[in-house]
């Protein structure tokens, strides 16, 4: 689909060791990119790296475990990528965490943890990537959620932070379009990742039946959308929020 599209391009992906992020790492590598993917734990990154090398030992790929909210760690990461490959073309802010705790039981620490990963990390990673992306006329792709558009029946931090990601995307797109940097986001629906796989069967069936296309999204569905937004086919798209959700709306669950 994207044959030769990313040859020579360098992509940085947070939350890249599993799920949607790992599918994106595989997709970009398969289409010629050099990829640095980030994980929360060194062991999960190492496991993902080993799996990638089994697919193709010649892939140009590296992994790092950093605190995405640490501005010094972000700066050092980009310096390391530049020293290794000389450029950065695409930043994908994909790392995210969820919380279904009801508001009256929600602890301040839980609120802060979700806001840090889902919102502050996007700010931090984008802030220090911009100067490099200006040089390559590159792009940023943020992972939002349909919950950020329509909210969700339970849990407030997740939809709140994903709505913030959408607003941040539009603000960055407006700010950096004159520099040739495009910024877009993707709003996935329900995707068949580890979290969904752990749901009881009755819950999976209930959610599945609420999706008009009658199936969960696959990580590759979201990864393909990321590659589209990073490709030359999307060269006139910025400030967009692309819903990749099979028609799912969180409110379908309570109708």
Residues known to be catalytic? 158
Cβ pair 14, 45 in contact under 8 A: no
What stretch of H or E contains 241? strand 241-244
Of 245, 12, 223, give the one whose Cα is nearest residue 129: 12
Q: Report the length, in residues, of the chain.
A: 255
Of 244, 174, 180, give the one whose Cα is nearest residue 20: 244
Q: Which residue has the tokens 């520099």?
A: 179
What stretch of H or E contains 187? strand 182-188
Look up residue 85 and give its two tokens. 């490959």
Of 78, 95, 96, give the one whose Cα is nearest residue 87: 78
3-state secondary structure of 246: coil
Helical pair 19-30 and 219-230, crossing angle rounded to 10 deg: 50
Cβ pair 220, 30 in contact under 8 A: no
What stretch of H or E contains 30? helix 19-30
Distances (CA, A) of 14 to 41, 118, 157, 205, 207: 12, 11, 20, 30, 27
Of 178, 186, 187, give the one whose Cα is nearest residue 130: 178
């Amino acid at each position: 689909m994207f044959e030769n599209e990313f040859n020579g391009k360098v992509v940085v992906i947070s939350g890249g060791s599993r799920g949607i992020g790992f599918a994106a790492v595989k997709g970009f590598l398969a289409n010629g990119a050099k990829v640095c993917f980030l994980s929360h734990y060194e062991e999960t990154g190492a496991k993902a790296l080993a799996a990638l090398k089994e697919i193709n030992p010649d892939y140009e790929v590296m992994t790092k475990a950093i605190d995405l909210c640490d501005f010094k760690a972000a700066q050092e990461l980009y310096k390391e990528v530049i020293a290794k490959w000389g450029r950065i073309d695409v930043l994908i802010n994909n790392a995210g965490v969820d919380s279904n705790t009801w508001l009256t039981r929600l602890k301040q620490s839980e609120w802060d943890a979700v806001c840090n990963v889902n919102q502050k990390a996007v700010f931090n990673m984008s802030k220090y990537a911009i100067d490099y992306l200006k040089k390559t006329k590159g792009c940023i792709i943020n992972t939002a959620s349909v919950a950020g558009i329509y909210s969700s029946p339970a849990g407030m931090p997740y939809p709140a932070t994903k709505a913030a990601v959408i607003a941040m995307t539009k603000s960055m797109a407006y700010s950096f379009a004159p520099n040739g940097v495009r910024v877009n986001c993707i709003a996935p629906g329900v995707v068949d990742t580890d979290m969904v796989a752990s749901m009881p069967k009755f819950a999976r069936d209930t959610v599945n039946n609420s999706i008009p296309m009658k199936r969960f999204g696959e990580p590759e569905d979201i990864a393909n959308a990321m590659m589209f937004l990073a490709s030359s086919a999307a060269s006139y798209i910025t400030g967009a929020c692309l819903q990749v959700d099979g028609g799912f709306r969180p409110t379908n669950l309570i109708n």
